[in-house]
Structure 1
Amino acid sequence: MEAYNFETAIKPFFWVASEKTFSVCLNAGTYKPEIFEWRKDEGFEGNGYDWASLAKVFVEEKRPDLADEIKFDPEADMFCAYSNNPERLKEFVTDFKKTCEDEIQIQDLFLKAEID
């Protein structure tokens, strides 16, 4: 049996560790562009801000216990979530990725996302 590899499991998200904070990032437009496709008439493009809007809804609905620990700092071409607590951030990205892989759940969350 192959050992669990966190960094492989969260791809295409990627982990960035610095001295005091930990981040998980995603190059916008590279993962699940079809999620954003069906609301493009409203201005969604799948950029970093759109991913942050989706991630905020995910935290509110699915993981409110993480709300005080996970912060977002998106840019047009990159989604970024960060925290001082690496374990909580790992929980966030693992659960968020699982949800992104579930078409019904992610569409349900995306219906509640607001354009930033």
Structure 2
Amino acid sequence: MSISDEERDEYPDGSVKLRNPNIELMDQDILYHLALGSESHDLVEMFGDVKFVCMGGTPKRMEDFAHYIMQEIGYKIPTGTKLMDISQYSYRYCLYKVGPVLSVSVSFDI
């Protein structure tokens, strides 16, 4: 059973096909839960090398996960520095970047 072009979730180049046509009309991308936007932040500069985004539990759990990933991929940080929460001490989430991996804890209220 083959999938028609209209049913595919991505274009031949691998980019994601937007199912909501209104998104294409937006003048910027906003990641509301992370307080990041394409007008307020240089997302390509900040995260252009990111290949994996891991979102999960508590801030401590995601910090531990970032340390685990750092060990697993052999990522080295400069001597005298340490892994830091780069979310500017947000009360809503924490964000760690370890090479190509983002480790994020977000509180999703329902």
Which band: TM-score by shorter chain?
Answer: 0.3 to 0.5
Whose helix fraction is larger, Structure 1's or Structure 2's? 1
Which structure's relative contact order is higher, taking Cα pairs within 8 Å and 6+ residues apart?
Answer: 1
Larger radius of gyration: 2
Normalising by structure 2, what TM-score? 0.33
Normalising by structure 1, what TM-score? 0.32
